[in-house]
Amino acid sequence: MIAIIKYNAGNIQSVQNALNRLGYESVITDDSALILAADKVIFPGVGEASSAMKYLKERGLDEVIYKITQPFLGICLGLQLMCKSTEEGNTKCLGIFDTEVKLFPPKEKVPHMGWNNFEQIKGKLFESIDSKEDVYFVHSYYAELCKDTVATCNYIKPFSAAMQKDNFYATQFHPEKSAGIGEQILKNFLEL
C-alpha cells in the first residue's frame, strides 16, 4: 500500500491521480498506523509552511515521520518541511535535511513557475532520466544546496531541486505534473 500523507496542504489529489495512471493504488490519510504500515509514503503539498507544520504537530505526524523506515518521498512543500526551517512564517520544520529554506529575492520574478531543467542529478530516483529534460516547478521558497542535494536547478541562484538522505527522498519540482519524465521519477521511487 502507498500512503499519501494528508496534512492541510493542496495538490494531494493530483499525486493520487498520477499514481493511478501508473497502475498503483494509494490511500490519502493522516492515520499514523496506516502511514507506518505502508510500503511507500508520499508527502506532497502546495501551501503555507506554518499551518502545515501546525497540522502535522497537532496530529503527531511530525513524530510519525521520524519513525518511517520505508521509502518516503516529499514533493514541493513536502521537501521544504523536511528541511531544518523555512523563512515562510519563520517556521521550524522536521530537520531531516540539514539545510534552510529561503525566499527568492523579491525583486526577481517570483514564484518560480513553469518548466525548467535540472543539473547534477544522481541516485536511484533519477535512473533513466536525462537532466536536459524539463520538469514543472511552482514555488517562491527554495532549499539551499547541502550534502543531501541530489539534483540542482538554477533560478536566480542554484538551489536543491531534489534531496535524498537514507530512505528519505524529496523533489522541489512536481513529478505528478511533469509529464513522462515525472512519471518515470515516480516509477523509480515506487520501485525502490
Location of C-alpha cell 516509477: 187
Exactly one of 93, 112, 139, 174 is catalytic; which is it? 174
Q: What is the mean pLDDT of the chain?
A: 95
- Supply the pLDDT for residue 10: 80
Judged against a pLDDT cut of 80, whether residue 104 lies above it is answered with yes
Judged against a pLDDT cut of 80, whether residue 134 lies above it is answered with yes
Location of C-alpha cell 523533489: 171
User: Edge-to-edge strands of the sheet including 2-5?
Assistant: 26-29, 2-5, 40-43, 72-75, 168-171, 157-165, 149-155
Assign domain 2-190 to its CATH architecture. 3-Layer(aba) Sandwich (3.40)
Judged against a pLDDT cut of 80, whether residue 107 lies above it is answered with no
Query: Is there a catalytic annotation at residue 76?
Result: yes
Judged against a pLDDT cut of 80, whether residue 17 lies above it is answered with yes
| Distance (Å, whole) CA 140 – CA 136 | 14
- Supply the pLDDT for residue 6: 93
Q: How wide is the angle at C-alpha 191 spanned by C-alphas 134 and 130, nearest 5°?
A: 25
Q: Which contacts of 55-58 are long-range, i.e. CB under 8 A and separated by 24 or more positions?
A: 55/7, 55/8, 56/7, 56/81
Exactly one of 48, 76, 93, 183 is catalytic; which is it? 76
Sequence ranges of the domains in the chain: 2-190
- In this structure, the chain runs to a length of 192
Judged against a pLDDT cut of 80, whether residue 29 lies above it is answered with yes
Q: pLDDT tens across 34-65, in order?
A: 999 999 999 998 999 999 999 999 999 999 99
Exactly one of 83, 88, 153, 176 is catalytic; which is it? 176
pTM, to two decimals:
0.96
Query: Is there a catalytic annotation at residue 112?
Result: no
- Supply the pLDDT for residue 179: 95
Q: Which residues contact 128 (CB under 8 A, 6 or more apart)?
A: 184, 188
Query: Is there a catalytic annotation at residue 63?
Result: no
For residue 153, the SS3 value is strand
Query: Which string of DSSP letters, residue by residue, matches 90-113?
Result: GEE---SSS-EEEEPPTTS--SEE
